[in-house]
A and B are shown apart, each in its own frame.
Chain A
Amino acid sequence: MQPNLKVNIGKLELKNPVMVASGTFGYGEEFAELYDISKLGAVVTKGISLKPREGNPMPRVIETPSGMINAIGLANVGVEVFLKEKMPFLRKAQATVVVNIFGESVEEYVAVALKLEGTTGIAALELNISCPNVAAGGACFGTDPGTAEMVTRTVKKVTSFPLIVKLSLQVTNIAEMAGAVAGAGADAISLINTIPAMAIDARTRRPVLANVTGGLSGPAIKPIALRMVHEASKAVNIPVIGVGGIMNGTDAIEFLLAGASAVQVGTANFVRPTAAPDIISEIRSYLLEEHFDSVNRIIGQLQI
């Protein structure tokens, strides 16, 4: 018998636990040339803001040992163009769509959420709180539990979609942060986002990226992400979505064991464009080999 791959993220049921991470899949069009994107647990879109953003100057990316650093600068088409030009394609492709949103103020988060309200084909929102809060002098929304709680509570009030809050890594206590957003009404949390990092060119004596710093992703961050997912899932009762350096089925299983109800595949999409569908089959094979009839049987089943 084929094992059951369905998982629940709050009231949202996913076909399987494999989502693709924001910023590594565009709005789905390119990957749809390679495979049927409706087979994915969900497609998380590139982060959407109220107005279009051009992003940072070049260079924006650099490979580092077992990873890469990006400073794209949250470039995106803006919510209006997203609704008019990107959503119809995702609907037609029958993808399960999670719209990742961000803002530079609480008002902007609310405005984006309101514009998305009532749109058919959206399964959930994911709140990226790893971005600077202009009103607070550019401090990240996600570094202070009080601010994170406030953004979550405010957006939750105006949206009818399930709300996933994507946590920033720049916190002293991940359990406290997870607890704060869960208390504010988040339906799930996802972690981790990229880790602040930099690369220097010794010959030119300059930073490699025009933005000086960027976010580290890929296999290099997996052990950190696993630890964070493990701690966060012990701290809260809402589902946790594991992200960070997942390259294959075994990596995904490790996150599920650590307590994640689903995973997101990011940088791996660049390395092997079929990484996400491959991971779905690899999870299925693992369950068959280990005689589990459902993926839910391994979630949080880490033996300590």
Chain B
Amino acid sequence: MKETEAQVAYKEIDGEKYFRLGLKTGWNEFVAGQFVMLEVPSGGTLLRRPFGIVKLAGGVLEICIKVVGKGTSAISLLQPGQTVSVLGPLGTGFSVQKEKDTAVLIAGGYGVAPLFALAASLSGQKKIIFYYGAKRSADLLYLDGLKSLGVELRLATEDGSAGEKGLVTERIEKEMSGFEGAAFFACGPEGLLSAVSKLAARDNVPTQVSLERYMACGIGVCLGCVVKMKDGSYQRACREGPVFDSEVVLWD
């Protein structure tokens, strides 16, 4: 974990609500599934905001942000050349079992961020099936990048503007056969994650999910971000997580 004043290398707007930021951190390592706490430029908010790491190349870290409120709006005003404090890489990322030859990645919305990183790290080593769901085609990000990683893309949109019409989990359920040698890796809204973990439990597919919690510190000291486990204990999403084995999480 490092705190770095990073210069904004680039900002790319993607559709109405999304933008990608490149940050010159000088960092050279991270595990897919880890995240950063980004300082919100002045006038925005007090606390930092958490974002998944999409990639890190030549010291430039990329994150992809959906504007949803005060903090993300203030961050969207950052311009190339300005600096911002980045704290990371944080948390425990995905751990990939060697014996499984197929990785099924399941993304909803900006949940694509850590799964893009995972796909990049597995590319060429495993067969990657990438399920990706969103409201409409404009909300599907990183499609070109994913194609060039050689993943098998299976899209679903609620309005049918790309891929199959409906929820991505409905598509997975229909196509569930043949995942014996596979493992699931999912990130997205809690509803998607809980549906995926139900399917996985039914068919005994080992599954890791990346969970989102409101975070104050992001480094494990405030205990504000905990996830309830089946054994009754709480674990910190920012430290033991955000990636957990779906079978140890207590789903409600």
Q: How far is the CA of A60 from the CA of B226 in the complex (A)?
A: 9
Nearest neighbor of A65 in chain B, beta-carbon distance: B46
Q: Which residues of A contact B216 (CB under 8 A)?
A: 61, 63, 68, 70, 270
Nearest neighbor of B2 in chain A, beta-carbon distance: A34
Does A141 reach chain B (CB closer than 8 Å)?
A: no
Q: How far is the CA of A157 from the CA of B48 in the complex (A)?
A: 44
Contact A26 B220 (CB under 8 A): yes
Does B214 reach chain A (CB closer than 8 Å)?
A: yes
Q: Which residues of A contact B39 (CB under 8 A)?
A: 271-272
Q: Which residues of B contact A59 (CB under 8 A)?
A: 213-214
Nearest neighbor of A74 in chain B, beta-carbon distance: B223
Q: What distance in Å separates the Cβ of A6 from its nearest Cβ neighbour in chain B?
A: 27
Contact A30 B221 (CB under 8 A): yes
- Within the complex, which residue of A23, A62, A67 is in contact with B222, where a contact is CB–CB below 8 Å? A23
Does B85 reach chain A (CB closer than 8 Å)?
A: yes
Q: What distance in Å separates the Cβ of A102 from its nearest Cβ neighbour in chain B?
A: 15
Q: Which residues of B contact A23 (CB under 8 A)?
A: 222
How does the 8 Å CB contact mask read for A45-69 relative to B, with 1 for contact and 0 for none? 0100000001101111111001110
Contact B1 A58 (CB under 8 A): no
How does the 8 Å CB contact mask read for B89-116 relative to A, with 1 for contact and 0 for none? 0000000000000000000000000000
Nearest neighbor of A266 in chain B, beta-carbon distance: B222
Does A174 reach chain B (CB closer than 8 Å)?
A: no
Q: How far is the CA of A24 from the CA of B232 in the complex (A)?
A: 24
Q: Which residues of A contact B227 (CB under 8 A)?
A: 58
Does A263 reach chain B (CB closer than 8 Å)?
A: no
Residues facing A in B198-237 (CB within 8 A) are 213-228, 232-234
Does B3 reach chain A (CB closer than 8 Å)?
A: yes
Does B45 reach chain A (CB closer than 8 Å)?
A: yes
Among B1, B219, B225: residue with most chain A CB under 10 A? B219
Q: How far is the CA of A228 from the CA of B215 in the complex (A)?
A: 30
Given A33-B1, A54-B232, A270-B222, A218–B214 Cβ distance below 8 Å?
A: no
How does the 8 Å CB contact mask read for A253-274 relative to B, with 1 for contact and 0 for none? 0000000000000010111111
Does B143 reach chain A (CB closer than 8 Å)?
A: no
- Within the complex, which residue of A58, A60, A271 is in contact with B47, where a contact is CB–CB below 8 Å? A271
Q: Which residues of B contact A269 (CB under 8 A)?
A: 217, 221
Q: How far is the CA of A270 from the CA of B50 in the complex (A)?
A: 12
- Within the complex, which residue of A30, A68, A75, A274 is in contact with B234, where a contact is CB–CB below 8 Å? A75
* B interface size (C-beta, 8 A): 30
Nearest neighbor of B71 in chain A, beta-carbon distance: A63
Q: Which residues of A contact B3 (CB under 8 A)?
A: 34, 272-274
Q: Which residues of A contact B221 (CB under 8 A)?
A: 24-26, 30-31, 46, 269-270
Given A26-B220, A30-B219, A269-B221, A58–B45 Cβ distance below 8 Å?
A: no
Q: What distance in Å separates the Cβ of A269 from its nearest Cβ neighbour in chain B?
A: 7
Contact B224 A70 (CB under 8 A): yes
Contact B223 A55 (CB under 8 A): yes
Contact B222 A70 (CB under 8 A): yes
Residues facing A in B1-59 (CB within 8 A) are 1-3, 39, 45-48
Q: Which residues of B contact A62 (CB under 8 A)?
A: 214
Contact A72 B46 (CB under 8 A): no
Q: How far is the CA of A273 from the CA of B39 in the complex (A)?
A: 11
Q: What distance in Å separates the Cβ of B191 from its nearest Cβ neighbour in chain A?
A: 16
Nearest neighbor of B70 in chain A, beta-carbon distance: A63
Q: Which residues of A contact B233 (CB under 8 A)?
A: 54
Q: How far is the CA of A60 from the CA of B85 in the complex (A)?
A: 25
Q: What distance in Å separates the Cβ of A199 from its nearest Cβ neighbour in chain B?
A: 12
Does B118 reach chain A (CB closer than 8 Å)?
A: no
Q: Which residues of A contact B46 (CB under 8 A)?
A: 63, 66-68, 218-219, 267, 271
- 5 A-B pairs with least C-beta separation: A61-B224, A26-B221, A270-B217, A61-B216, A60-B224
10 A-B contacts, Cβ less than 8 Å apart? A30-B1, A31-B219, A46-B221, A55-B226, A57-B228, A218-B46, A270-B47, A270-B218, A271-B48, A273-B3
**What 13 additional pairs, Cβ within 8 angstroms, besides A24-B221, A271-B46?**
A30-B221, A63-B216, A67-B46, A68-B46, A70-B224, A72-B222, A72-B224, A219-B46, A270-B218, A270-B221, A271-B47, A273-B3, A273-B219
